[in-house]
Amino acid sequence: MKKRIFILVFALALAVLLCACGGVEDLEKLKDIELPPLPTVGLYDEEEPALSQSVEPTPGAYLGDLGEEPEPSIIVRIENTTMEQYDPADGTQLILTFGYDTPTVYMEGNEAAAAAVNESIARINETYYTGDSYGEEAEGSMPSGFLGMLEAAEDNFYVNYHSGGDLPLEYSSTRTVRVERLDSKMICLVFTDYSYTGGAHGIYTDRAYLYSSETGARLHLEDLCRDTDGMKAYLRDSMFNSLEPDLREYYSNFLYEKDLSQALEDLIRDGSFYFNDQGLVIFSDVYELASYADGIVTFVFPYDQLYGYLDEAWFPEERTEEGELEVISLDAVPDGGLWIVDRLALDEVGGEWCLVARGTLYDVTICNAYYSDFTSSFFAHGQLWKAAQLCNSAVQIKSDIPDGLPNLMIRYTTSDGQVHTKLLSQSGEDGHPMLVDDTVEAVG
């Protein structure tokens, strides 16, 4: 598998410039900087990977009891870029946190499709970073750009600095991403943008992007059904009929220029629906149907309710293979004893482990375990890596396992549709790695 990397070169260069800024005059100069052109996804020669960066998937040797070399799987790696900016007075007060996730898709044997998806992702992140449109943003998205957020944060700081006010000084703009569906037919990514510029709370929005796994082309509603109008009418009526009368009245109270039926139909738009292993999910923006406390309103349509509307070519394939997951130390793997489909270096220090699938597992996902963010559901996923399936093979991880709460979560689905959630831990007796059930409960 060749390595395709999305790099926002201008992000690093601009961050270095900004860190050197000392005041309003420097900020004014930055506003006139001409940003580089749209980044592209290119092919790079193999090189030694830097720690804390994921490295190119490389197959190991054959291990007899694990079977033959596994078929290639679709893999998505998610890497985060975060920049912090401090006040222009003495540089001690944090005034802006700006960050974004970059998913990169790998499809061995179909590199052209992977490149098409990654080019689209590059434009999506370019729009978020610059605030300019490059044709990939979904309707209703709210990019303001790094420079726009920095200018607002600087202005806010000076208002407080000269007036002695006590307004919040830390602004933030962050984008996270989660993979909702990943298989041989479709790739569904959902980007969550969160922005805080003062007030009682920030604002967040979800935007979904669907791609064909075969071609890498972006998918729209008309690509998924033979009768778009009929599909919309069916979904609208089903959403309306699923609501209890009191809930219909509650949502109607938030609508001023349209009735509830029309508002529900308006949800059926690019960016506001995706598919997962359960079916079709349609969702609103915050405030679109209800209050901020109600959050994003969602409607789920299982696949068996979509026959006759969704083109059957987009239905997931049946999953019949069985498997189980275990973790072993890399030191315990004999030379030439395991097929390694990918390697992830998540920490500069720590042990090296192999998550081994014996048999076939689906939707294998490695996540950060964000226990401190249980109250912020839109941050709780923390996906780092996902494979459509893992079959008689392993993913190698370099990561520290803390003595307290585990910091890595592994989710996977078995052929019976059961989702399993495990935490990467280790024995207190001899230090050997273990996968333990996720029994940590939110408190407070």
End-to-end, the C-alpha distance of the chain in Å comes to: 46
pLDDT bin (cut points 50, 70, 90) of residue 440 is low
Residue 264, pLDDT score: 97
Residue 55, pLDDT score: 38
Alpha-carbon distance of 373 to 377, in angstroms, equals 7
Kindly report, residue by residue over 306-347, the tens digit of the pLDDT: 999 999 999 999 999 999 999 999 988 877 778 999 999 988
Could you tell me the pTM of the whole model? Answer: 0.82
C-alpha triplet 29, 32, 33: angle, nearest 5°: 95
Residue 439, pLDDT score: 66
Backbone angles phi, psi at 39, to 5 degrees: -70, 155
Query: Does one domain contain both 346 and 334?
Result: yes
* Helix (H/G/I), strand (E/B), else coil: 141: coil
Please determine, for residue 433, whether its predicted confidence score (pLDDT) is greater than 70. yes
Query: Does one domain contain both 28 and 144?
Result: yes
Question: Domain holding 405: CATH number?
Answer: 2.60.40
Residue 293 in any domain: the answer is yes
Looking at the DSSP bridge assignments, the partners of residue 398 are 345, 352
Range of the domain at 9: 4-49+81-219
Query: Does one domain contain both 206 and 229?
Result: no
Query: Does one domain contain both 8 and 139?
Result: yes
Please determine, for residue 235, whether its predicted confidence score (pLDDT) is greater than 50. yes
Residue 68 in any domain: the answer is no
pLDDT bin (cut points 50, 70, 90) of residue 29 is very low
C-alpha triplet 47, 384, 173: angle, nearest 5°: 105
Q: Which of 322, 362, 58 lies closest to 183 in space, CA to CA?
A: 362
In contact, 85 and 98? CB cutoff 8 Å: yes
Kindly report, residue by residue over 157-206, the tens digit of the pLDDT: 999 888 877 778 999 999 999 999 999 999 999 999 999 998 889 999 99
C-alpha triplet 318, 324, 328: angle, nearest 5°: 145
In contact, 426 and 434? CB cutoff 8 Å: yes
Average pLDDT over residues 233-249: 97
pLDDT bin (cut points 50, 70, 90) of residue 12 is very low
Kindly report, residue by residue over 377-397, the tens digit of the pLDDT: 333 458 999 999 999 999 999
Lookup result for tokens 């315990």? 332
Residue 23, pLDDT score: 40
Q: Two tokens at 261? A: 């039926």
Q: Which of 126, 137, 171, 117 lies closest to 4 in space, CA to CA?
A: 117
Q: Which residues contact 85 (CB under 8 A, 6 or more apart)?
A: 18, 19, 94, 95, 96, 97, 98, 150, 153
| Residue 198 vs residues 153, 166, 172, 201, 203: alpha-carbon distances, Å | 10, 11, 9, 7, 10
Query: Does one domain contain both 100 and 247?
Result: no
Tally of structural domains, the chain: 3
Residue 48, pLDDT score: 34
Query: Does one domain contain both 168 and 257?
Result: no
Query: Does one domain contain both 408 and 430?
Result: yes
Letter for the amino acid at 37? P
Q: What does the H/E/C string look like for 205-224?
A: EEEEEEEECCCCCECCHHHH
Query: Does one domain contain both 184 and 235?
Result: no
Please determine, for residue 27, whether its predicted confidence score (pLDDT) is greater than 50. no
Residue 66 in any domain: the answer is no
Please determine, for residue 365, whether its predicted confidence score (pLDDT) is greater than 70. yes
Query: Does one domain contain both 241 and 330?
Result: no
* Helix (H/G/I), strand (E/B), else coil: 260: helix
Residue 14 in any domain: the answer is yes
Query: Does one domain contain both 122 and 207?
Result: yes
In contact, 279 and 301? CB cutoff 8 Å: yes
Q: Which of 207, 38, 211 lies closest to 116 in space, CA to CA?
A: 211
